[in-house]
Structure 1
Amino acid sequence: MPEIAVVTGAGSGLGRAIARRLGAAGFAVVATDVDHAAARETAGSIPGCRSAEHDVRDAEQHRRIAREATERGRLRVWVNNAGVLALGPAWTHPDAEVKRCVETNVLGTVHGSRAAVEVMRDQPGGGAVLNIASFAAFGAVPDLAVYSGTKHAVLGFTKSLNADLRNAGSRIRATVACLDGTDTPMVQRHAGDPKAGVLRHRGRLLDPDEVARHLVDALGSRRQVVCVPPARGVAAQLLGLAPALSLRLTNAAARRHRT
């Protein structure tokens, strides 16, 4: 029976890279995206991959994807990757943009995780849920208040979900990936914005395929939080304990990038 991996937001960028890595690892991948044409393009590049149109803000759509996955095999991996970025001070965003960011990044992760667990808990062998967060989950990042808030929520939710799974004696593992700035279409859409320096203030943007390699390798470990790159992740967590210092360093690095 094939082992199934579902990747949301797989139409481009990191989601596409993760789907390809999972396909190369032997999983039968389901690539989902709100843009079905993009998901089909991803599926066409991975042998045995299927695509599905999927608005992650809708809980029932997650359940449908999970049910359909079990018709093909055992659902072993579920990656909540779909996300949107809101760049700028919190008070500058239209209400609709804030709602879309929170619903996609937070509710999409919560709904997806619950749908995956509902299926995986009835299967022998358990499974893995991987939720994509950001270094922005560790501290104060100017011009990313709304986005950062959603990633703080993803980090906290995943840790608590993992605690629930352990207390229940489940063999399902929940992992949260916290990433530095990654070279994805979501980030590149803001390339001309002066505020975008904060997205890459630690240097060059990461290669999505290299990030995907780290994340797929981490599925076989028991780590609850995976940082890419690891050393920068440790620094980001420590700086999160000193918000004033973190803000000064972030602002200085962003200015260097703009110049």
Structure 2
Amino acid sequence: MNNGVAVVTGAARGFGREIARRLVARGHRVVITDVNADAVTVAAEELGATAIVADARQATEHRRVATAAAELGPVTVWVNNAGVLRAGRVWEQPEADIALMVEANFLGVVHGSRAAVDVMRERGGHLLNIASISAHGPVPGLAVYAASKAAVLAFTTSLQGELDLARLPIRAHALCPDAADTALVRDEQESPDTALLFSQRTLLTPDSVADAAVALLDGRRVVRSLPTHRAGLMRTGALLPRLALPVLAMMRARGDRRRTAGR
């Protein structure tokens, strides 16, 4: 079975690695990228994928990856998964952390999407951008991260409209998962500003997120949030922030207890 070439960015670990695993199983020739040369090489060897060391913040890097992927065959899937999380009050965060989140989480998706459209515009394909449930509403303690993911969501839906108007045979999708048990989250667990991430009863698993991500590739659905009920709460918070913010404060207190218990 040959389903074309699939590119997954930030795939040395977490969601990206598990998404790549499923794409290999589906018969894709998979290219995975990451800034960590050792980690992406190990992951590629395990998965049976091709590793490329690349910085998702750079447009030129995405174009380089797209060229290399197209040399392997027609690119039919592109997953913009690379991202970073830094918790903290926005006025206290280092400028470098703020720039990193905006560049990796949002601009990386823009650059990756442009590269994907370039290589898929003739034959068509699926473009999947990993956003976050935080894209739907306020997340005190993760203001810049939430804003970068909200930008991903708005960009993806707008991009689909542009693709439709241009009659290009590419489907854009955005997946908005809640916090999951990944190194991305665990690396910031010591910060009390991550408390809202732990306010759900249990963290999602990378496997469940990867299953949802790959399922999007089978249809025309543009946005999926995981779990749905948490997305509804977040959207309510965006519509009624004066009422929602006190509720979020209570959820934060509950999450902080789980955060410290789980360390």
Same fold (TM over 0.5): yes
Partner residue, 2:24 = 23
Q: Is the 8 A contact 1:143 1:195 kept in 2?
A: yes
Unpaired segments of 5 or more residues in structure 2? 258-263
**Secondary structure of 1:250's match?**
helix
Match of 1:53 in 2: 53
Aligned match of 1:72: 72
Moved over 6 A (4+): none
> What displacement does 1:245 show?
2.8
Aligned match of 2:189: 191
**How much does 1:56 deviate?**
0.8
Determine the C-alpha separation between the residues in 2 that align with 1:45 and 1:229: 30
1:244 equivalent in structure 2: 242
In 2, distance between residues paired with 1:251 and 1:192?
A: 18
Q: What does 1:107-256 correspond to in 2, within 5 Å?
A: 107-122=107-122, 124=123, 126-256=124-254
1:32: which partner in 2? 33
- Cα distance 1:141–1:2, how it changes in 2: closer, same or farther (>3 A)? closer
Q: Is the 8 A contact 1:2 1:73 kept in 2?
A: no
Deviation of the 1:211 alpha carbon: 0.8
Q: Distance in 1 between matches of 2:106 and 2:212?
A: 23
Q: Distance in 1 between matches of 2:142 and 2:128?
A: 23
Q: Secondary structure at the match of 2:176?
A: strand
List gaps (5 residues or longer) in structure 1.
Answer: none
Aligned positions, number: 256
Normalised by the length of structure 2, the TM-score is: 0.94
Cα distance in 2 between the residues matched to 1:3 and 1:230? 31
RMSD, aligned α-carbons: 1.3
Contact 2:133-2:231 at 8 Å conserved across structures:
yes
Q: Label 1:245 to 1:25 Cα distance change in 2 as closer, same or farther (>3 A).
A: farther
Is the CA contact 1:179–1:228 (under 8 Å) kept in the aligned structure 2?
yes
When normalised by structure 1's length, the TM-score is 0.95
Amino-acid identity (%) = 45
User: Aligned letter for 1:52?
Assistant: I
